[in-house]
Structure 1
Amino acid sequence: MKSSHVRTNSTGLSRDLDLLDALSRCDTSGAGVVRLAAMVGREKTQVSRALSTLADSGLVERDESTRAYRLGWKLHSLASRTLERRLATIAAPLLRQLTLRTGATSHLFALRGIFTTAICSHSIDNTEAVWPWMDRPVPAPVTSPGRVLISEWDADSIRVAFPDNVLAKYGENLKTTTTEKLLAELSAIRSQGYAVIQQEYDLGAGCAAAVRNDDNQIIAAINVEGPPNMFNPKLDEITQITRKYASVLASRISHSS
């Protein structure tokens, strides 16, 4: 009796996954019950019930005007967190090496909305421990990895996300106190391939370089930071090493796919 129940649950999960896979192949407008039923080869009533359950859990969402279903916010969140964990696992030994080579603390940052969060860190005392940046959302424009992560956003998106009144709240020491200054800084980052920050958000100095996927999209940023008296004399060297390790990480991610 117990084994029969397990098989039933497994079958239901498999069918739910079929629906999620079908929705992943639809465009942004989604698909209705009739189309999805045809795609997975199931009865419309069964598909409707399954979609209702998936919608309750946030794995799919329904457009009330078109009655079409799309992949939901929770699924996107799970996928994002899964990618972050994978990135952190691959990055950990590289961050250790980067810290040993530069003598500075290193981080791997990811973008969550308009905020950045360190998903893996390594300090000079060789510990992969909880760091102040870990799971602490920081506005993207105020740090070097944040600026790298938004450096390829279009200008209109930057203006909507970071108007002057929002940037003014981030502190008077920032170079990017207006939207136009931020756009100019992001343009420079695109041209040079990295970002450097000097005692703007806090008293430290840091640099960051982009980690790209096979489609050349920025998916993370490697950051090295330290006190200015240690960091500044070696700025060019640390920046080049950071860029190298960002490229190595991108290569390892690609080969692990």
Structure 2
Amino acid sequence: MMEARIQSVGRAAALLDGMADGGWHALGALAALTRLPKGTAHNLIGALQDCGLVEHDPARGAYRLGLRFLALGRAVERRLDLVPMLRPLLLRLSAETGETVNLAVPRPTDAMIVESLEGTRHGVRVSSYAGTAAAYHSTACGRALLAHRPEAERQALYALGPLRAETPGTVTDPARLEAILAECRRRGWTEEREENEPGACCVAAPVMGPGGAVAAISVAGPAARMDPRTTARLGRMLRDALRPIESHLAA
């Protein structure tokens, strides 16, 4: 059974995994497969059914994945399609700025860097790696995504525990972070200066789709090269570069 921060979430996920073949499954079989008490499995599947994630056939006394997964799966497909769609833009931004350019996508409690292009113009640069996690509160790409999550989701994230201070300058107060996120929504981009890594600065903008921010693109470099005028210029550059992409996603 998969582990999760909240035990009931992990148990529910295990039940969904047990129905991953799309067929009908008896409650007893699912309980045995996941090693859950039958009563616990029944309660969790009932909650999943209420959310539209599971369907129940009373005649068979069996359960299968609900149609809501079709919409969720298509949303994931659109997100994955973004990588090849945005790669030409990432290459252009890396060439124009000479800095490291990252593409991040949202996950439940953090973002993930799925593409990273290191600038080659400067000997000293900031390095990032595809497949690494990016904290929502301390990275620019994380903030660009978090700013467009529903307020209830943001508050739920804050409730998981204190925000970690990655550096002495990291904003860890949710109220201060909320003000930064509001500014991101207002101007269309955000930044962080030495909050995730000493000596580094990053500017990011969300990639807005019909349902909200589906990804974020960031430009990162040494703080010594990223003065406020430079970060503002990069932020406007990102917003201008993303408008055609967002128009395509909205079509």
Q: State the TM-score bracket (shorter-chain normalisation).
A: 0.5 to 0.7
1:157 alignment partner, one of 148, 153, 156:
153
1:98 alignment partner, one of 83, 86, 93:
93
Are 1:135 and 2:159 matched, yes or no?
no
Query: How far is the alpha carbon of 1:154 from its aligned partner?
Result: 3.8
Are 1:124 and 2:119 matched, yes or no?
yes
**When the two structures are superposed, what TM-score results if normalisation uses the length of structure 1?**
0.65
* SS of match in other structure, 1:201: coil
CA contact (8 A) 2:100 2:128 kept: no
How many residue pairs get aligned? The number is 199
In structure 1, distance between residues paired with 2:80 and 2:55 = 31
In structure 2, relative to structure 1, the CA distance for the partners of 1:168 and 1:121 (3 Å cut) is closer
Q: Which residue of 1 aligns with 2:176?
A: 181
Q: Which residue of 1 aligns with 2:33?
A: none
Q: Which residue of 1 aligns with 2:185?
A: 190
Q: Percent of pairs identical after alignment?
A: 18
Q: Which residue of 1 aligns with 2:57?
A: 33
In structure 2, relative to structure 1, the CA distance for the partners of 1:165 and 1:99 (3 Å cut) is same
In structure 1, distance between residues paired with 2:217 and 2:162 = 26
* SS of match in other structure, 1:110: strand
Query: How far is the alpha carbon of 1:248 from its aligned partner?
Result: 2.8
1:240 alignment partner, one of 236, 242, 247:
236
1:251 alignment partner, one of 236, 247, 250:
247
In structure 2, relative to structure 1, the CA distance for the partners of 1:105 and 1:154 (3 Å cut) is same
In structure 2, distance between residues paired with 1:201 and 1:158 = 19
In structure 2, relative to structure 1, the CA distance for the partners of 1:163 and 1:133 (3 Å cut) is farther
Aligned residue identity for 1:28: C
2:214 alignment partner, one of 219, 244, 248:
219
* SS of match in other structure, 2:225: helix
* SS of match in other structure, 2:226: helix
CA contact (8 A) 1:94 1:249 kept: no
Are 1:229 and 2:214 matched, yes or no?
no
Q: CA RMSD for the aligned pairs?
A: 3.3
Query: How far is the alpha carbon of 1:210 from its aligned partner?
Result: 1.1
In structure 2, distance between residues paired with 1:173 and 1:227 = 15
CA contact (8 A) 1:106 1:224 kept: yes
Larger radius of gyration: 1
Counting helix residues as a fraction of each chain, which structure ranks higher? 1
1:6-42 Cα shifts (integer Å, max 9, x gaps): xxxxxxxxxx8799xxxxxx983453226xxxxxxxx
Q: Which residue of 1 aligns with 2:163?
A: 167
Are 1:82 and 2:77 matched, yes or no?
yes
Query: How far is the alpha carbon of 1:224 from its aligned partner?
Result: 0.7
Point out where structure 1 has 5 or more consecutive residues left out of the alignment. Answer: 1-15, 20-25, 35-43, 61-68
**When the two structures are superposed, what TM-score results if normalisation uses the length of structure 2?**
0.67
In structure 2, relative to structure 1, the CA distance for the partners of 1:230 and 1:114 (3 Å cut) is same
